[in-house]
Amino acid sequence: MTVRLSLALLALLLSARSLAAGERWQAGVAKVVITPEKLMWMSGYSSRDKPAEGKIHDLWAKALALEDAAGKRCVLVTMDLVGIPREVSVAVCNDIEKKHGLPRASVMLNVSHTHSGPVVGSNLRSMYFLDAEQAKRVDEYTQTLQAKLVAVAAEALGRLKPARVEWGNGNATFAVNRRNNTEADVPKLRELGQLKGPVDHEVPVLAVRDPEGHLKAVAFGYACHATVLPFYQWCGDYPGFAKYELEKAHPDAVALFWAGCGGDQNPLPRRSVALAEAYGKRLADAVDAVLAAPMTPVRGGLAATYAEVPLAFADLPTREQLLKDTTGKDKYAAERARLLLRRIEKEGSLSGTYPYPIQTWRLGDGPIWVALGGEVVVDYSLRLKRELGPGPIWVAGYSNDVMAYIPSLRVLKEGGYEGGGAMVYYGQPTAWGPRLEETIVAAVWEQVAKVRKK
């Protein structure tokens, strides 16, 4: 055997070993019921005037932990909730870091935005007028929730075992741009192929299998509001039904749903349990189609980064304007004004910016996963996929802190509920400033460049 041939064989052997090492993943998964034990106020709709009356099915928090061959770990925690405020996210992630050594960048929190979940902490608190007992129940639930989120993440990390990690993308078409299509007209417009407005119908799928190929976890996303159901019963809405369908089809697996950039997307038509179940089944079928086809193995290691970017508001209201609002006919504007006046009294002034969370993960040679805070409109996912591709780009909204709607510049200029009207219900002082889209996109570009280098 020549020296050249021997060296070539050695290089091939080392390359094979290196590839095998890059594929040595470990994964762990866990879940916990987070359905309130007491009947308390539901979040999502300002029209609600009483506490929940029961449940269709339980609400869940689920955690998927991953560890690469170098020992770098991350954990995704998903929740059947409308939103979580910044103080909950900070408390949970600080506890996970303190107890388990995971840095902030390695913990991603995402809510499904089901409108059949409870009020949590200060999230959308100015939308509701709670008596002392209901306010107490919200505070108690929030404390219990925080403990459960830390515990479920720890449980997933404690169950790390060798695994195969794969990815793929599917498609589901029930999301409709609600700004451009009147709800009553949607069935006819769909039939005629005349629905308008941008949408993102991609269904990203991350599959975790044991070394023998048995499915142990599937994390999937979709960009659409979870607003099919308008009643007074706990329910995960269509994402909840999708998860139940997948776990019924794959009894040994845990299904996790993460919400995409669906701030201006609705499941239409809606307003019945039958429709929520049907949309859930369609989404589960889309995921199953990906699982049944050849998926792409994730090779390489993890990279993660996180930052809070100062996102500027437009002109802030004066104290005099807020005092005037407290006596106005709009009870929601009056409640916001009282909230902001208390903040001024406590802190001296209102801040002109908000610490907006942006997080990016690189899963080996697979997806780059961007997680944005708030109710992000679909323009962001479409733009980031277009600009950051051609590789797989997954963009989540509703991540780490749901503080407000996040309009694109287009939607901000158009105005309306997503463009600024909803800021009242979130207790924010005013609309976002005109630089918000460029500020967010520039920060994402910076993070993606950073994780691609690691």
The per-residue pLDDT for range 42-52, each reduced to its tens digit, is 999 988 999 99
What is the model's pTM? 0.93
Q: For the chain, what is the radius of gyration of the CA atoms?
A: 22
pLDDT level of residue 4 (50, 70, 90 thresholds): very low
Contact 94, 307 (CB under 8 A): no
Structure tokens at 76: 């995704």
Question: Strand pairing partners for 357?
Answer: 308
What pLDDT digit, counting tens, does each position of 257-273 carry?
Answer: 999 999 999 999 999 99
For residue 70, give both structure tokens. 């170098």
- 312-332 mean pLDDT: 95
For residues 217-221, average pLDDT: 98
Which of 61, 78, 120 is closest to 403 using CA atoms? 120
HSE value, Cβ hemisphere, 13 Å, CA-based, for 277: 5
Alpha-carbon dihedral sign for residues 378, 384, 390, 393: negative
Q: What is the mean pLDDT of the chain?
A: 94
Query: Residue 206 corresponds to which amino acid?
Result: L
